[in-house]
Amino acid sequence: MTSSYSTNIVIFGGGIAGLWLLNRLRDEGYQAILLESEQLGCGQTLASQGIIHGGLKYALNGALSGAANVISDMPARWRACLAGESDMDLRGCRVLSEHYYMWSDSGFRSKLKTFLGSKSLSGRVSAVDEKQYPDFFKLATVEGTLYKLPDFVLDTASLLQVLAGKQREHIFRLASESYSFERDDKNQVSAIAIADGKKEFSIEAQRFIFSAGKGNKQLINDAGLENAKSQLRPLNMVYVKGKNLPKVFVHCIGDSFSLTPKLTITSHEDVDGTTVWYLGGELAESGVAKDRESQIKAARSLLHNLFPWMDFEETEFNCFTIDRAEANINNNYRPEDAFCIEESNVFVAWPTKLTLTPNLADKIIERLSVSNLTPTPTANHRGLSDVLEAAEIATSRWD
Ligand SMILES: Cc1cc2nc3c(=O)[nH]c(=O)nc-3n(C[C@H](O)[C@H](O)[C@H](O)COP(=O)(O)OP(=O)(O)OC[C@H]3O[C@@H](n4cnc5c(N)ncnc54)[C@H](O)[C@@H]3O)c2cc1C
């Protein structure tokens, strides 16, 4: 016999977006479950640098762009969450660095961009007095200026643990090839039918949310949606492991016309406690066409040029490619804020940045509250743990 389960909302994808939504929706009283096809966080979320941006990066042309405006309130919002004083209790999530810095070298354009960026966010960005430099920059043998930004850095593994930990019994693993969407007589998606060779059952819901990052494309296709479109931006990320590496958190602003930092560094630890420098920015964007050896060579050379006082002899370099997945609006533009599109009873959602995830949840909850969806106490998904396994949290690339 085919069993049938029901709930108000089914969320697909267990990155930051899906997990945040699951927590917010359940707090609002909705019955909701999350289905993850692999491991929680295994897409962009664990691969992200964990920077909670305050906007400077998006103001390097001297003007407060839409993106810089939208994002400038986010550090305060996340800090309230970390203190357990907001709509999401993130107590237990580790902060890797309370501060993020920007280092401009002596190049003219670089200085100009940095200056204009800090002017346009005046009051939120300050030049650091050399006497107050973090130890790493006190050793600098090249001329430069250090600025302190309102940004800070989270440990995304602990963020996933906090968010998943509160909802263990509502999160399941379901391989993407083992289900199909069913439609009702109004042609709305009404259920997913699961058949994995051993068991057959269905899960009915009133709303479906696709927050599966890169996987949204396949879901949009499988559900037969017409309006949601995604785009991918590939990156070639380098990480450097070294027992003696200091912890460094900085954007290095380059002497080119690009508005992307030449290098964006965050520092992490692997399972053995070895420091890991994780390198993004222009290096990752321009490295997409490079093979492993060439990308590592480029990273070594850039680090040597930026920090000639550092010795990278006892370090191990590695790299991997990953796609950023975002909505595609107006012919390949990417949204400046978190983005979701509603088609019938399905939401397709991308936070655009980890930083903007709280805004994504606000948008979806607002739309649900004006729709006719009221939480149904009769939803019945308790027995799902008998037929679906739990989804585990993924590990970082350097582990
Ligand atoms: C290298 C890198 C660095 C970044 N650094 C930052 C940063 O410092 N600050 C910042 O704000 N943002 C950063 N970002 C962006 C940020 O990581 C993403 O915007 C955010 O993590 C997206 O979260 P998500 O939950 O939408 O997607 P993801 O984290 O990609 O999660 C999607 C999940 O859906 C699952 N899935 C896929 N298909 C299916 C399916 N059919 N059914 C069920 N589940 C499915 C996947 O397995 C995955 O677990 C960075 C991104 C990258 C790639």
pLDDT digits (tens, 9 = 90+) for 10-25: 999 999 999 999 999 9
**355 close to ligand 1 (CB < 6 Angstrom):** yes
Q: Which mutation among 45, 178, 350 tests ligand 1's pocket best, with the greatest number of atoms within 8 A of CB? A: 45
Residue 382 has pLDDT above 70, yes or no: yes
- Which part of the chain is CATH 3.30.9? 75-152+232-327
- Ligand 1 nearest-atom number relative to CA 349: 26
**47 close to ligand 1 (CB < 6 Angstrom):** yes
Q: Which residues pair with 104 in a beta bridge?
A: 145, 253
Residue 1 has pLDDT above 50, yes or no: no
Residue 77 has pLDDT above 50, yes or no: yes
pLDDT attached to residue 123: 67
CATH no., domain 75-152+232-327? 3.30.9
What is the CATH architecture of 3-45+159-228+329-390? 3-Layer(bba) Sandwich (3.50)
Quote the ligand 1 centre to 21 CA distance (angstroms). Answer: 14
Residue 191 has pLDDT above 70, yes or no: yes
Summarised one tens digit per residue, pLDDT across range 363-375 is 999 999 998 787 7
Edge to edge, what strands does the sheet with 126-127 contain?
126-127, 144-149, 100-105, 250-253, 263-269, 275-280, 230-242, 316-327
Q: How confident is the model at residue 69 (pLDDT cuts 50, 70, 90)?
A: confident
Residue 40 has pLDDT above 60, yes or no: yes
Quote the ligand 1 centre to 387 CA distance (angstroms). Answer: 27
**191 close to ligand 1 (CB < 6 Angstrom):** no
Q: Are 146 and 133 in contact (CB under 8 A)?
A: yes
Q: Are 33 and 7 in contact (CB under 8 A)?
A: yes
pLDDT attached to residue 61: 64
* Rounded Cα distance, 170 and 248, in Å: 38
Q: Give a three-class secondary structure readout of 319-362.
A: EEEEEEEEECECCCECCCCCEEEEECCEEEEECCCHHHHHHHHH
Q: Specify the higher pLDDT residue, 340 or 376.
A: 340
Residue keyed to tokens 């920007």: 102
**35 close to ligand 1 (CB < 6 Angstrom):** yes
Q: Which mutation among 48, 171, 360 tests ligand 1's pocket best, with the greatest number of atoms within 8 A of CB? A: 48
pLDDT attached to residue 198: 81
Quote the ligand 1 centre to 326 CA distance (angstroms). Answer: 9
- Which part of the chain is CATH 3.50.50.60? 3-45+159-228+329-390
pTM of the model: 0.96
Quote the ligand 1 centre to 253 CA distance (angstroms). Answer: 25
Residue 247 has pLDDT above 60, yes or no: yes
- Ligand 1 nearest-atom number relative to CA 218: 41
